[in-house]
Amino acid sequence: MLKEKQFEHLQPYERDNIAILKAKGDSNRSIAKKLGRSPSTIH
């Protein structure tokens, strides 16, 4: 039996971290790896 994917919204602290890392010039893929998220989650 296949397990359904469960999606979670980004937490406010994750959004803050994304903004900070983007301002530092990190790539979406790098940010996703640091946060343990899919790269498609990072815009």
Q: Are 15 and 8 in contact (CB under 8 A)?
A: no
- Tell me what the mean pLDDT of segment 25-41 comes to: 95
- The confidence score (pLDDT) of residue 8 equals 80
Helices (H), 1-43: 12-23, 28-35
- The confidence score (pLDDT) of residue 3 equals 67
Q: Are 28 and 43 in contact (CB under 8 A)?
A: yes
Q: Which residue has the tokens 């989650």?
A: 41
Higher pLDDT, 2 or 17: 17
For the whole model, what pTM was predicted?
A: 0.77
**Residue-wise pLDDT tens digits, 10-23:** 999 999 999 999 99
